[in-house]
Amino acid sequence: MLAQMGGLSSAEIAIFSGRKDVGQNRAYDHMSSEEIQAPVGRAIKEGLSGDLVPITSRNLVARSEFAASGVAAAHTTEFGWCQHNFASEPCQMYRDCINCEEQVCIKGEARKEANLRSLKVETEHLLSQACQALTNEEYGADTWVVHQMKTLERVNVLLSILDDPSVSDGARIRLNIENAPLVTLADSETITKAVTFERRKRLK
């Protein structure tokens, strides 16, 4: 404790105490929270620290709002959240969330929309590789071409809805197997839009 109060670094304290590694210092750290925070406070007052990272606010979903969504339970995914009932059976899609009709995307979630756009770029690359493999008559390439085309189609449909200014932030979007979107607005009004094959081709 004297070494800590004297300002020695963790490495110096470990050497001074004959310890094997720095991680062992934790077991002998008897400083109070105020004593631990004191050097940080002094550094801020003396202007020795850089700009503090602003705290990103995260608003929790209200219990009443979640209840109104008609979902008993959900798990978060890279692109939204999953409505699958894991009490009845394990995931049957092996975490292929984009091609699952039990995934719901929320418009306005910037990080998850960014993940979706990254998936679009990745899938386009994988589709190109699969097509090249098919040209080279590699075994199994046809299966990957079909899968990547299906994935890219669903990603494009989702992005077209997220980019649609007529769809308000907070809208819940779920695609069925045929890629027809079910868009549920924040006020629980439900709008079903039929997406024709011709329109889906234009979205690519």
pLDDT in tens, 16-54: 888 888 888 777 777 777 877 887 788 778 876 666 677
Residue 62: pLDDT above 80? no
Domain segments of the chain: what residues?
Answer: 2-45, 63-203
This prediction has a pTM of: 0.57
- Encoded tokens for 58: 């995260």
Distance CA 93, CA 79 (A): 15
d(CA 202, CA 93) in angstroms, rounded, equals 28
Contacts (Cβ under 8 Å, ≥6 apart) of 160: 203
